[in-house]
Amino acid sequence: MNAAALQVGRRLPRLEADQKLSGRARYTADLDLHGMLHGAILGSPHAHARIVRYNISKALAAPGVVAVVTGADCPDGKMGPFIKDEHAIAKGKVRFVGEPVAAVAAATPAQARHGCALIEIDYQELPAVLDPAQALEEGAPLIHDGLAGYEKIYDAGSSGNKCCRTVIEQGDLAAAWRKCDVVLDQEYRTQPQAHLSMEPCAALADIDPAGRVTLWSANQSVFRVQANVCECLQLPMSRLRCLTPHVGGGFGNKMEAHVQPIVVMLAIKSGRPVKLVLSREEDFEIVRGGHPFRFRVKTGAKKDGTLVAREVDVLIDGGAYADDSPGVLAFALRMSCGPYRFMAAKAQGAVAYTNKLRFGAFRGFGQPQIHFGCEQQIDQIAVALGIDPLEFRRCNALRPGETWFGGQSVASNGLKECIDKVEIESGWRRRSALVASPGKKRGMGMGTTAHISALLGTGAIVRMLEDGTIVLNTGATDIGQGSDTVLAQMCAQTLAIDVAKVAVASPDTDGSPYNWGTTASRVTYTTGRSVVAATGEVLRQAKDHASEMLECGVADLELRPGGKIGVKGASGLEVTFQAISRRAHWRSGGPLVGSHTWVYSQDTVDPKRATAIGNPARSGVFSFGALVVDVEIEEATGKVEVLRAWSAVDVGRAINPQAVEGQIEGAFVQGMGFALTEEMVWDGARLSNPTMMDYKAPTSADTPYEINSYIVEAPEPDGPYGAKGAGEIGMNAVAAAIANAVSAATGVRLNSLPLTPERVLRALMEHGE
Amino acid sequence: MNAAALQVGRRLPRLEADQKLSGRARYTADLDLHGMLHGAILGSPHAHARIVRYNISKALAAPGVVAVVTGADCPDGKMGPFIKDEHAIAKGKVRFVGEPVAAVAAATPAQARHGCALIEIDYQELPAVLDPAQALEEGAPLIHDGLAGYEKIYDAGSSGNKCCRTVIEQGDLAAAWRKCDVVLDQEYRTQPQAHLSMEPCAALADIDPAGRVTLWSANQSVFRVQANVCECLQLPMSRLRCLTPHVGGGFGNKMEAHVQPIVVMLAIKSGRPVKLVLSREEDFEIVRGGHPFRFRVKTGAKKDGTLVAREVDVLIDGGAYADDSPGVLAFALRMSCGPYRFMAAKAQGAVAYTNKLRFGAFRGFGQPQIHFGCEQQIDQIAVALGIDPLEFRRCNALRPGETWFGGQSVASNGLKECIDKVEIESGWRRRSALVASPGKKRGMGMGTTAHISALLGTGAIVRMLEDGTIVLNTGATDIGQGSDTVLAQMCAQTLAIDVAKVAVASPDTDGSPYNWGTTASRVTYTTGRSVVAATGEVLRQAKDHASEMLECGVADLELRPGGKIGVKGASGLEVTFQAISRRAHWRSGGPLVGSHTWVYSQDTVDPKRATAIGNPARSGVFSFGALVVDVEIEEATGKVEVLRAWSAVDVGRAINPQAVEGQIEGAFVQGMGFALTEEMVWDGARLSNPTMMDYKAPTSADTPYEINSYIVEAPEPDGPYGAKGAGEIGMNAVAAAIANAVSAATGVRLNSLPLTPERVLRALMEHGE
């Protein structure tokens, strides 16, 4: 095989890199249509209030204003991935400050905003509930009066302000606790983190006179957009076509609906195309954030260093709408034992509605939060038992063949190799020799993690055109992580051609096979499986043609690099894909087409099983990771600085090592922001820092001078070329590892995030007393 | 079954009627992109010349001009459906007046035209050949020096200026001629007709920085556009995505490339989106016309009224490029016996290259021309034998079970019913009682015809979305004839739902299944077959789910109107498509999808068989038609006026009778234009009437006050709900029937078209002598 055949494992820049670097890639905000109007949103000034009356006459009379929509225009349809609790726009009630309560379409964005300012709404204020614990108390003001009647994908005991509740249990817990020689039991809190995609949420809707709507938007799933918009607007799904231009990041924020339903309402009302691009402030205030957790972790171990029992109890603030909260809760609980062996464990928790912005999917899907407590306790127990924390983890790590918490089998497991890798590369055993800068303390900390990468359905259609080139259509959105490139590499590898011969079609609900979405670290594994299978089907058809053309049996044929099929042992006897495709054009009536659909599990979400993702399919696809960080803490200020990081991730097989390293590095920095500086701060009911100035995300000046990424390859037997997911795992253990390093450096344990200088300094001072 | 289930056979306005009536349907000319330039074309002033030198510097310096392309910019790739003889733009040589020789992209259309005017090209003029017979003479100037080396789909004896030659023969011709009691042998000429679609040809190309091109254009096959552009520009097909907005008519003119390759060249050269919309004059001058025929027909019959033998010899002017000429020749020959039984027959012919605009596919594909001679001779023989021409046809008509000329079996045959219908409805037997207006002569004439409606490949993908609504994706372009509506009706019928629940996706080479094109009266039959099969597959899957949901066997289930599946004999036991789809979403990972590909014949075009379409597959799908017209001829002027027409067409099954009637009426009027007034006139090498003022197409004032359309239904066994094609057949016999009526009224026979007042008056005067 020559170089052209080695597409999997190639370090390749993204297929679309040129477009993005030249500034010519078109995002939703770059699209324009004839007669297009611009939309703007009016947000609620109240955290909780009934809407008594709208007066839109002044707004309608304002220059350039063409249409105004409010809850009075929107049908009673409701959307939501787990609980259908959310209208297209506030209807009857507002439930958080900033919640869209009206919207305007006008000739210019400024006129639309001016129109919003002229809308008068009478509210009847209601007492707001801003704390999740208070929300669950008897007599708390009800945020969703009609919760019992809402449609739910599964019933997880919603009532009052309790959005859902989940319990997972395994083993004889009472017996397990009795065996423990050391037990830790602590409480932790993590803060809400903003997704902060480079591209703010945006949508453009166009309606034809027959009533069919075309909707371009920034999203992570063109199919979820279609489902959400149609559910809340009670629009037949066949009347909505959803498309995805380039997308500038998602991190979970664009998985479910944002402004799309409102933009469609404006287009229907005005009869004109309408585009709406959120300002950065609005993108902070009205879309969604990562969940704040309050949780208790209890861990027990034997003197010999064997982990025995764990209990976790979590309370999650879900904000005003359920969104992905039930999923985040279930997943966090399911991952709460980490990649370790326990004799028994129990994880339980609840999500509470509050009068705040909804919280939803965020890279890690609950793991960065739960790990912050769980992985600190692992460290603390190791220290308590006088065992090296790394060695302690290695000894308790799930071994290949062992099952996950809940009983799920684990097909491939490179955890030990990850631990070994970071141990060696970081110089872990020599860490006591590290010298701190003057006025600083220095320490190394670590964490391990795992992440699943297979959920729900995905398809692929591969077409070999008459000239032998390939178009790959999957419906998967490349949100910037590089999935188009990776999927094209798999397709090219299967056909032994250069990846340049493969074009990737953009997602389109009319023309793409179904894809649940770019979420849950799933595209490489799940869509990759479909791509490899669909490409294999094209190859099978090509071989059938070749066998007739070369007059030999299919078994005598071999695939040759550069797009040829030849007779084994006869180097001159071969036909090109082009010749095959031209023949197929007349014989088969068009291009060679292969299609494949792959579904993770029929019972991933079973309405009869209350715990949903908490009780997954029998087998899982797990990526593993281990991380070491080297940090310094300035004694005078409490400022934590990460000097170096070593992150090893078992991705099964790195289809594009460059893209995997990008994921590891990006996840580390986002995790570092979570650990140290980022926090969405509510001042009462109002988000007080919805700007890039006030919200402290790490800049390049804040990133460590060394982020060392290591790819470990424990091939997944059913994975496409052995691959597993890589999108989230690099983020999970960052905050925990940094907290462990801070403790190693200072002896101080912090149970709340972020580890701001104020918080660290206070702890240092308390510790010093 | 309630009304919702009766979708097939419903008289329905087009799905997109509202858009078109409100003027809001978007055609290619209505599309705009950011930074878009406008293109203009410079045509050759010479009919035949070598291009010596380009000077584009003045054009490039002109205001607003961004890019100029000439043959120097275009690769040596060549396109063509049968013979690859055509560059993207003239390269090395020009071969007809008006042939695009350079093109300009500029900020405005006016600036682009101004830029064209500033291009200087030195030519070396060559002798031109404008007559097809002269073109075939020894020593004629060669139009394609490299013809022998061109790639050909099949070799049909091209050489010199002979584009191709075809012969079809059946039976013992010498013996047959010996049995004839009456023999007619005459020569005929037909004129070139313009397609005259309401929408002129147009294209818009956009190129992304990665080099992938998106091309919107007015076309009859988004896949032919892709193939043509990529062949002549040597672009990998995967790098070109073709889309089709609304299209305003085609009639064959938009089946192969027109301005698309030039627009793509301009987009690549300028790096900007470029749109080019032809003016009406350009649309006449540079795209293609319907073929002028010169032919001899010899027909023999026995005294008892039995047709015995026929010979046809055709010379077709193909113009400067082969385009569809080989197909038109082969098809005309194959249809030259009409729907009659002959003991023996021979049809032969050739296409000659000339230095004129290319001629190509036109509604009827050679039949209106060949019928003009053949159907007049049928009349003349009947008259000579003293038999009523209608009765003569009925007696000689192919009966069900008899084979077509060439041996092809005919599955369904409603010809006799068509003849019976027009006989009764027109009052044929009482025609001698018709009274002419003062100064006019009046007569009735008739003709019969057949047409095939199945060629090459087509696919369909049907998706049932989570709410039970349907999206249908076929890749077939609705060029205004109503195929979207008809295909949606078939889909709706199969699922027993209202057609409003079915949305039709527009053609997209990235997302649509392959479809050879909207041509050859093929969409209803071929794409319909795929639609019905793909929809059936969705229904099968839906029933599998329903059987689990209702806990019964699939055999116990029944489809119920309105989108439900129930248990037979238990009216309350049923599940909706919505419930099934929601279940499928989690179980099958997405919408229920059915797809199907159907290919007419593997050997329709066999490279080893020189006659190609002349030797088709073993079985054919034939529609049949019979037509009677009532005409008056003004004696003083020779003007022919059609008063009434009765056209009966066997379409197997009329999926949408309103659409079928539209086809019959439209075809009649287009055929009437062919018969009486329309003619593309060359003054030397230059088309002299390329305007709506000078080219005489019938207006509503010219159409008869009665066009009576009758639908005859002889169901095609394998047809979708029994349907066959209806797009072309109504045009085939119009000119012949009018000529027969003129003869009946005046005793004059005319062998050249059109039957202009001058020509008719001269014949009347000669006849009167």
Q: How confident is the model over B408-421, as pLDDT tens digits?
A: 889 999 999 999 99
Question: Are A299 and A377 within 8 A, CB to CB?
Answer: yes
Above 70 in pLDDT, residue B277?
Answer: yes
| Minimum-distance CB partner of B238 among A25, A26, A469 | A469
For the whole model, what pTM was predicted? 0.92
- What DSSP element (H or E) covers B573? strand B570-576
> A465, B226: Cβ pair inside 8 Å?
yes
Which two three-digit tokens encode residue A445?
A: 């900390």
Measured in whole angstroms, the distance separating CA B319 from the mean position of its chain's CA atoms is: 18
In percent, the amount of chain A with pLDDT more than 90 equals: 89
| Contact B583/A at CB under 8 A | no
User: What is the arrangement of strands in the sheet containing A564-567, beginning at the earlier edge strand?
Assistant: A557-560, A564-567, A570-576
Domain boundaries, chain A: 3-24+456-600, 31-126+196-286, 289-454+619-768
Give me the pLDDT at residue B460, please: 95
DSSP character string of A476-531: ----SS-HHHHHHHHHHHHHT--GGGEEEPPPBTTTSPPB--S-TT-IIIIIHHHH
Under CATH, which architecture does the B289-454+619-768 domain have?
A: 2-Layer Sandwich (3.30)
Give me the pLDDT at residue A769, please: 59
Above 50 in pLDDT, residue B612?
Answer: no
Above 80 in pLDDT, residue A411?
Answer: yes
CA–CA gap between residue A258 and residue A277 (Å, rounded): 11
Lowest mean pLDDT, pick from A407-411, A532-536, B643-647: A407-411
Helix axis angle, B657-676 to B734-746, nearest 10°: 60
Which two three-digit tokens encode residue A127?
A: 């007492």
Above 80 in pLDDT, residue A455?
Answer: no
> B237, A469: Cβ pair inside 8 Å?
yes
A560 pLDDT tier (thresholds 50, 70, 90): very high
Lowest mean pLDDT, pick from A256-265, B328-337, B423-432, B580-589: B580-589
B154 pLDDT tier (thresholds 50, 70, 90): confident
Q: What is the mean pLDDT of residues A219-246?
A: 96
Q: What is the mean pLDDT of residues A564-577?
A: 96
What is the pairing mode between strands B182-189 and B682-683?
unpaired
Above 60 in pLDDT, residue B623?
Answer: yes
Question: Are A731 and A662 within 8 A, CB to CB?
Answer: no
Positive/negative CA dihedral, A759, A762, A764, A766: negative
| Contact A514/B at CB under 8 A | yes
Above 80 in pLDDT, residue A605?
Answer: no
B768 pLDDT tier (thresholds 50, 70, 90): confident
- What DSSP element (H or E) covers B666? helix B657-676
> A514, B589: Cβ pair inside 8 Å?
yes
Place of tokens 């390759």: B261
Above 90 in pLDDT, residue B480?
Answer: yes
**CA separation, residue B105 to residues B44, B51, B269, B620 (Å):** 18, 21, 9, 47
Above 50 in pLDDT, residue B503?
Answer: yes
Indicate the average pLDDT of chain A.
94
> B237, A465: Cβ pair inside 8 Å?
yes
The DSSP bridge partners found for residue A183 are A300
Which two three-digit tokens encode residue B198?
A: 């309401």
The C-alpha of A503 sits at a distance from chain B's nearest C-alpha, in angstroms, of: 5
Above 80 in pLDDT, residue B149?
Answer: yes
| Minimum-distance CB partner of A209 among B18, B465, B587 | B18
Measured in whole angstroms, the distance separating CA B11 from the mean position of its chain's CA atoms is: 24
Q: Would you tell me which residues 437-456 of chain B have a C-beta closer than 8 angstroms to some C-beta of chain A? A: 456
Lowest mean pLDDT, pick from A527-531, B74-78, B602-606: B602-606
Q: For B313-316, which contacts have Cβ atoms below 8 Å and span 24 or more sequence positions?
A: B313/B347, B313/B348, B313/B349, B314/B347, B314/B348, B314/B349, B314/B350, B314/B370, B315/B132, B315/B133, B315/B136, B315/B349, B315/B350, B315/B352, B316/B132, B316/B291, B316/B292, B316/B349, B316/B350, B316/B351, B316/B352, B316/B359, B316/B366
Q: Do domains A31-126+196-286 and A289-454+619-768 have the same CATH topology?
A: no
Partners of B22 on chain A (C-beta within 8 Å) are 209
Lowest mean pLDDT, pick from A224-233, A248-257, B396-405, B424-433: B396-405
Above 80 in pLDDT, residue A29?
Answer: yes
Give me the pLDDT at residue A169, please: 93
| Minimum-distance CB partner of B238 among A458, A502, A595 | A502
Give me the pLDDT at residue A309, please: 98
Model confidence pLDDT, tens digit, residues B213-251? 999 999 999 999 999 999 999 999 999 999 999 999 999
Above 60 in pLDDT, residue B635?
Answer: yes
Give me the pLDDT at residue B146, please: 94
The DSSP call for residue A335 is T
Q: What is the mean pLDDT of residues B197-207?
A: 97
Partners of A505 on chain B (C-beta within 8 Å) are 241, 510-511
Model confidence pLDDT, tens digit, residues B726-750? 999 999 999 999 999 999 999 999 9
Torsional class of B252: left (φ above 0), alpha (ψ -120 to 50), beta (otherwise):
left
Model confidence pLDDT, tens digit, residues B1-59? 444 558 999 999 999 998 898 888 999 999 988 899 999 999 999 999 999 999 999 99
Question: Rounded to 5, what percent of chain B is helix, strand, coil?
Answer: 30, 25, 40
The C-alpha of B331 sits at a distance from chain A's nearest C-alpha, in angstroms, of: 18
Give me the pLDDT at residue B618, please: 65
Query: Which residue in chain B is spatially nearest to A241 when comparing CA positions?
Result: B505
A617 pLDDT tier (thresholds 50, 70, 90): low
Cβ atoms within 10 Å of A17's Cβ, excluding its own: 15
Fold of A3-24+456-600: Aldehyde Oxidoreductase; domain 4 (3.30.365)
The C-alpha of A587 sits at a distance from chain B's nearest C-alpha, in angstroms, of: 5
> B238, A597: Cβ pair inside 8 Å?
no
> B588, A457: Cβ pair inside 8 Å?
yes
Partners of B467 on chain A (C-beta within 8 Å) are 230, 236-237
Model confidence pLDDT, tens digit, residues B504-531? 999 999 999 999 999 989 999 999 999 9
Q: Would you tell me which residues 454-473 of chain A have a C-beta closer than 8 angstroms to some C-beta of chain B? A: 456-459, 465-467, 469-471, 473
| Minimum-distance CB partner of B597 among A210, A465, A589 | A589
A603 pLDDT tier (thresholds 50, 70, 90): very low
| Contact A578/B at CB under 8 A | no
Q: Would you tell me which residues 237-266 of chain A have a C-beta closer than 8 angstroms to some C-beta of chain B? A: 237-239, 241
Give me the pLDDT at residue A641, please: 97
| Minimum-distance CB partner of A22 among B32, B209, B598 | B209
Query: Which residue in chain B is spatially nearest to A212 when comparing CA positions?
Result: B503
| Contact B503/A at CB under 8 A | yes
CA–CA gap between residue B560 and residue A383 (Å, rounded): 69
> B24, A595: Cβ pair inside 8 Å?
no
Indicate the average pLDDT of chain B.
94
**CA separation, residue B769 to residues B747, B748, B763, B764 (Å):** 13, 12, 10, 9
Above 50 in pLDDT, residue B366?
Answer: yes
> A467, B230: Cβ pair inside 8 Å?
yes
CA–CA gap between residue B489 and residue B7 (Å, rounded): 5
ipTM score assigned to the predicted complex: 0.88
Query: Which residue in chain B is spatially nearest to A502 when comparing CA positions?
Result: B238
**CA separation, residue A222 to residues A217, A218, B756 (Å):** 8, 9, 59
Above 60 in pLDDT, residue A611?
Answer: no
Of residues B68 and B618, more confidence is placed in: B68
| Contact B35/A at CB under 8 A | no
Partners of A457 on chain B (C-beta within 8 Å) are 585, 588-590
Question: Which superfamily is assigned to A31-126+196-286 in CATH?
Answer: Aldehyde oxidase/xanthine dehydrogenase, a/b hammerhead (3.90.1170.50)
> B501, A590: Cβ pair inside 8 Å?
no
Give me the pLDDT at residue B24, please: 85
Above 80 in pLDDT, residue B603?
Answer: no
Which two three-digit tokens encode residue B667?
A: 């075809």
Q: What is the mean pLDDT of residues A605-614?
A: 39
> A511, B508: Cβ pair inside 8 Å?
yes
CA–CA gap between residue B397 and residue B403 (Å, rounded): 11
- For B140, the 3-state DSSP assignment is coil
Give the angle subtended at the CA of B661 by the CAs of B659 and B664, to the nearest 5°: 115
The C-alpha of B137 sits at a distance from chain A's nearest C-alpha, in angstroms, of: 35
Furthest CA-CA distance within chain A: 88
Model confidence pLDDT, tens digit, residues A496-518? 999 999 999 999 999 999 999 99
Give me the pLDDT at residue A5, please: 56
Give me the pLDDT at residue B60, please: 98
Partners of A593 on chain B (C-beta within 8 Å) are 459, 513-514, 597
Which two three-digit tokens encode residue A351?
A: 């999500």
| Contact A28/B at CB under 8 A | no
> A210, B18: Cβ pair inside 8 Å?
yes
CA–CA gap between residue B292 and residue B314 (Å, rounded): 10
> B586, A210: Cβ pair inside 8 Å?
no
CA–CA gap between residue A24 and residue B219 (Å, rounded): 28
| Contact B236/A at CB under 8 A | yes
Model confidence pLDDT, tens digit, residues B669-685? 999 999 999 999 999 99
Model confidence pLDDT, tens digit, residues B439-465? 999 999 999 999 998 777 889 999 999
Positive/negative CA dihedral, A600, A602, A608, A609: negative
